[in-house]
Amino acid sequence: MVSHSELRKLFCSADAVCFDVDSTVIREEGIDELAKFCGVEDAVSEMTRRAMGGAVPFKAALTERLALIQPSREQVQRLIAEHPPHLTPGIRELVSRLQERNVQVFLISGGFRSIVEHVASKLNIPSTNVFANRLKFYFNGEYAGFDEMQPTAESGGKGKVIKLLKEKFQFKKIVMIGDGATDMEACPPADVFIGFGGNVIRQQVKDNAQWRKQAVNIWDT
């Protein structure tokens, strides 16, 4: 388990810190909350568990889950308005401290951009620093699939985003923090991966992450 002082040193030496969103920055899994809202919670939650454990290719799991949910544009908007995601305790302070130190903060998520942008706005993270999947809708608002060209729509996608960030901004050191297998596999190209178990513990990540943390309130007052 990484200590407070070690984690502070890691973050302070980074050019950028990239956070997963579901079960890391927020306490919920966004797709599970959407499934609950649409009345298909049980089947989708099991698929999410297998996908985050690395047992199923991410794009296949995402396709299967969305085929069950079939969310409309209105349902997504109502979910955000009526059941907004809950920030993980300590994340607001952590992001603020990083930003005060001119460390760039990015959200890289296999979840949905509409939800992730809502979270980003609560943390003063610009939408240009958000990478997530885009849902597609027909003109009448019915579900029409998702943008499969987004790097976050497939296994290894978060690593592709980090590689892009390094090439674009010439970052020398990027820290990735998240709870799932798709986060852990982003290192490399991320220079450090911190497995976060404050909301849910993924056994594969617990067993294999070089660094692990149970909470994000890591800054001394």
Q: Give the catalytic positions in this structure.
A: 20, 22
Is residue 64 within 8 Å of 14, Cβ to Cβ?
Answer: no
Sign of the C-alpha dihedral computed for residues 125, 127, 133 and 139 taken in this order: positive
Q: Which residue is it, tokens 């298909």? A: 40
Tokens standing for residue 100: 């005060």
Which three-class secondary structure state does DSSP give residue 186? coil
Q: Cα 48 to chain center, whole Å?
A: 13
The beta strand positions in the chain, using DSSP E, are 16-19, 104-112, 130-133, 135-137, 143-146, 174-178, 192-196, 211-213
The whole-angstrom separation of Cα 25 and Cα 51 is 18
Total Cβ atoms within 10 A of residue 123: 18
The whole-angstrom separation of Cα 72 and Cα 136 is 9
The whole-angstrom separation of Cα 58 and Cα 3 is 32
